[in-house]
Structure 1
Amino acid sequence: MKKWSLLALASFFLLGCGSNDAEDAIVETVGLNIDSLSSQQKQDYAQISTDINTLIVHIGGQCLDAESNKNPSLTLTGFTCNIADYKTSESQTQFSSISLISGTLDITRSSETNFKIQTKDNVKFHAASISDGTLNYRLVEDNAIHFIINETGSDSASFRGFFRDDKTVDVTYWTAESQGNTPFDYDEDTNSQHSWLANGTAKITGKDDKTFNWRTSATGEVELPLTE
């Protein structure tokens, strides 16, 4: 059996029991071949990796509103969200076409303004610009989205997550993470038709520990560095 097939089988179990070290080993061995990507492909991977986090943050906010409306006096410390209830959120990103399939979010609130979003069940989605299969996004253990509500200025988000692409030929893996010194601004337009992560930097890590970086504009569009 080919090495990637063995590791794909191993990842099936890892996605159930969780180990960031094991995930990193899978990515390093059979991860996304960054050296083979064109600039446009890098743009597409970076935009999807950014925008799925945007959607998850948006859905988390909708869940918070729903839970608060059920019991306005309740001090929320943790709640669960089924993304199947929010599939229309696929219209919330401006630069990616993402179709949500399923997934469950576990959201914890450490204070009035600080939230941590992880996955009870992987978020499954389609993104035709990078795959002909189902993509899985995992936020477990050290993988998470951290969201902070700022009383003044934009709310902010940072993330680290593990992607699995169940494409037709050779399952592929990568991690995407924001850079700690530049968290993203989370913004929505006045009609809540679009949301985006602005003015942040992040990187994708693939096979052989190869990486590439990107930043987002004030409107959330990915901008690759002029030099890599």
Structure 2
Amino acid sequence: MDLFSSSWTALRTAVAELPDEDLSQPSGCTGWLVRDLVCHLIIDAQDVLITLVTPAETEPTRNAVTYWDVADTPPTGDDPLDALTVRLAAAYEEPWLLKFHLDDVGSAAGRAAELADPDLRVSTRDEVLTVGDYLSAYVLEWSLHHLDLIAHLPDAAEPPAESLARSREMLEEIAGTAFPASWSDKDALLVGTGRRAPTDVEKAELGESAAKLPLVLG
């Protein structure tokens, strides 16, 4: 629960501190500018709010790790929902409106998470999780998207170290193998999810595990 709050606060703060012109820079998400990613974060925040008020009575079917599905191919940016996000982001026109909406909805999602009972069962995507597991899964979401946000913005603040470390642990569980200990948490997340291609040295360090990558999470 604490990692959800710290990672989400760090991500929203990073967005709030971006100069307006940076919203037009590419993000780490294929086919999306930074403003498109920020629009996606607004939708994510809405999903958090919706899920936290959608209680379930049945036993959990997923946890923080199994919440994630692994796709066969990386996104191309051509998915209809991805294209809709681009159109929605462009409709804001003024950067401050986009930032304001994220701060408004994002703050509400953060407060709702802090008030939620971690043992409560909730439903999302036709699956059931405890609130604790659901919010833990979003630590990985926030960390990856924070890296996407700053992919081409070297002066922007990075995600909290503890969030990166926990996200690496979850990604290793999803992969069923550990990344080389010499890798930083950031590099493990970037290479592990296909956001950066491994170098020849990194491929050699991965050995047979290289065949399992990238992990395209959805």
**TM-score interval, smaller chain:** under 0.3
What's the TM-score, normalizing by structure 1?
0.25
Larger % of strand: which? 1
What's the TM-score, normalizing by structure 2?
0.25
Larger RCO (CA within 8 A; separation ≥ 6): 2
